[in-house]
């Protein structure tokens, strides 16, 4: 029988064997973000379309070509979020977070949606780790978010990334640059694609971000923004670089970076890899001091970045980066007979309450099939329960790694098995003198 449908093109199913990798990345970025003083925000998956038109920019590819926009039953234009910053900025304003101590530093792990040609590292539904720092105008804030991304990559063991930075100035100095671009591209109008011809009069900087090979070739000879920076923007950019040098973060100045969204000002940056094909930008961001005002708030500085989880995972796999193993089943309780089945269910619940991974038969298998299943799922120990074990109140525990067996009192099985797990952990830690209480805290995620 054929399936009635498959997954929509440009989306991926995250299967259990792969989800552990994503969970590892998400756990790492959460911990690092909180170490930097960033805390999680969650916003709706859809917003009023105007939010993205005003923030992302009507001349961008995102708004012109890629947004999933529809009318709801009330006739309102709704859009699935194509990126995370606009929703975070809207929430910051709507809930008055500007009245809280500044800067307000938030992060999010979120899904995003763009209609574009699917390829490796580019999906129609994708996921981002993002950070936003609202209220800090100093170059130190720019450097801090860059260093946060840099620390994420270092923690995860990602190699061979290049940090590229640029400044695209403020509206004042950018005006002169826009005129220079307009003059340059006007001389090449007939060479440009149809979309870039329309951008020429409205926002010529968007031509610099065009993916067309022909437009990219033309753009290579265009004026450079760094030659048009005002004194304040130049000093800001130089200070950002000074902070990066102080933090010993290597970087390259790339005058061609403008980012694909209109809200950026001054600092822009990308972490780029050449190991995952055309979609080599794993993280990108910068400063957007005019965004909150554009959305109806008071003028306030802001900066942040977005990091693609799928691209990061793709890069880590290309580099054979090690991932932690999925949590193993500590013990499989194989049972024979209704009374033994009930006892196995009770024991499994007790073990799980103590933070251990325990499984018992819910499939209706025979004993031999249960033991085969335990081996397939990689159970570290197995214990067999039948009438004899219930009568003697003793149970045989088998170590599936070395085949050794031990007999445990059934009525104290949970406590005794927990001691065995602690003993195994002590051996793995190579710490024979560590106290069991301290080790228990380590195993449960404590700080002992």
Contacts of 198 (CB under 8 A, 6+ apart): none
Strand, coil or helix: what is 230? coil
pLDDT higher at 199 or 310: 310
pLDDT, tens digit (0-9, with 9 covering 90-100), for 308-354 = 999 999 999 999 999 988 889 999 999 999 999 999 999 999 999 99
Q: How many CA atoms lie within 13 A of 115 on its CB side?
A: 9
SS3 content of the chain, % helix, strand, coil (to 5): 45, 20, 35
Contacts of 72 (CB under 8 A, 6+ apart): 78
- Spatial contact of 268 and 162, defined as CB atoms under 8 Å apart: no
Instruction: Place 259 in a pLDDT band, splitting at 50, 70 and 90.
Output: confident
Query: How far apart (Å, rounded) are the C-alpha atoms in residues 380 and 11?
Result: 35
Residue 78 reports pLDDT greater than 60 = yes
Residue 180 reports pLDDT greater than 80 = yes
118-122, 238-242, 282-286, 439-443: the lowest-pLDDT one: 439-443
Q: In this structure, what DSSP letter does residue 119 have?
A: B
pLDDT, tens digit (0-9, with 9 covering 90-100), for 391-423 = 999 999 999 999 999 999 999 999 999 999 888
- Spatial contact of 198 and 258, defined as CB atoms under 8 Å apart: no
Question: Please, what are the domains in the chain?
Answer: 16-170+230-318 (3.30.930.10), 331-443 (3.40.50.800)
Average pLDDT on 57-62 reads 75
Average pLDDT on 215-225 reads 89
Query: How far apart (Å, rounded) are the C-alpha atoms in residues 183 and 147?
Result: 38
Assess whether the previous peptide bond of 190 is cis (omega < 30° from 0).
no
pLDDT at 18: 87
Query: How far apart (Å, rounded) are the C-alpha atoms in residues 353 and 198?
Result: 63
Average pLDDT on 193-209 reads 84
Burial degree of 1 (CB within 10 A; 0-12, 13-18, 19+): exposed
- Spatial contact of 358 and 351, defined as CB atoms under 8 Å apart: yes
- Spatial contact of 238 and 245, defined as CB atoms under 8 Å apart: no
- Spatial contact of 86 and 55, defined as CB atoms under 8 Å apart: yes
């Amino acid at each position: 029988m054929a399936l009635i449908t498959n997954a929509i093109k440009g989306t991926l199913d995250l299967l259990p064997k792969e989800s552990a990798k994503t969970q590892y990345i998400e756990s790492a970025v959460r911990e690092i973000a909180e170490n930097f003083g960033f805390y999680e925000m969650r916003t709706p998956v859809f917003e009023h379309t105007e939010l993205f038109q005003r923030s992302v920019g009507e001349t961008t590819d995102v708004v012109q070509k890629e947004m999933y926009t529809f009318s709801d039953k009330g006739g309102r234009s709704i859009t699935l979020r194509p990126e995370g910053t606009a929703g975070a900025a809207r929430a910051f304003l709507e809930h008055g977070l500007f009245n809280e101590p500044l800067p307000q530093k938030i992060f999010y792990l979120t899904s995003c949606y763009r209609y574009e040609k699917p390829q490796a590292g580019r999906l129609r539904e994708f996921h981002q780790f993002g950070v936003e720092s609202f209220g800090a105008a100093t170059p130190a804030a720019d450097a801090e978010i860059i260093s946060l991304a840099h620390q994420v990559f270092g923690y995860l063991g990602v190699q061979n990334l290049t940090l590229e930075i640029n400044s695209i100035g403020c509206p004042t100095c950018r005006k002169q640059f826009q005129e220079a671009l307009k003059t340059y591209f006007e001389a090449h109008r007939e060479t440009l694609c149809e979309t870039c011809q329309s951008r020429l009069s409205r926002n010529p900087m968007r031509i610099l971000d065009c993916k067309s090979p022909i437009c990219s070739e033309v753009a290579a000879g265009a004026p450079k923004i760094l030659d048009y920076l005002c004194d304040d923007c130049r000093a800001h950019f130089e200070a950002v670089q000074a902070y990066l040098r102080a933090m010993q973060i290597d970087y390259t100045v790339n005058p061609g970076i403008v980012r694909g969204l209109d809200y950026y000002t001054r600092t822009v940056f990308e972490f780029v890899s050449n190991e995952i094909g055309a979609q080599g930008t794993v993280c990108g961001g910068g400063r957007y001091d005019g965004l909150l005002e554009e959305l109806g708030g008071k003028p306030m500085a802001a900066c942040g970045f977005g990091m693609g989880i799928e691209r990061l995972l793709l890069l880590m796999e290309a580099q054979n980066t090690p991932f932690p193993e999925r949590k193993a089943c500590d013990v499989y309780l194989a049972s024979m007979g209704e009374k033994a089945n009930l006892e196995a269910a009770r024991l499994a619940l007790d073990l799980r309450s103590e933070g251990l991974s325990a499984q018992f038969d819910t499939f209706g298998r025979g004993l031999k099939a249960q033991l085969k299943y335990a081996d397939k799922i990689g159970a570290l120990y197995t214990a067999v329960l039948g009438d004899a074990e219930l009568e003697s109140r003793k149970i045989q525990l088998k170590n599936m790694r070395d085949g050794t067996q031990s007999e445990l009192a059934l009525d104290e099985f949970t406590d005794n098995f927990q001691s065995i797990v602690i003993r195994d952990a002590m051996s793995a830690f190579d710490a024979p003198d560590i106290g069991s209480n301290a080790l228990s805290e380590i195993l449960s995620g404590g700080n002992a």
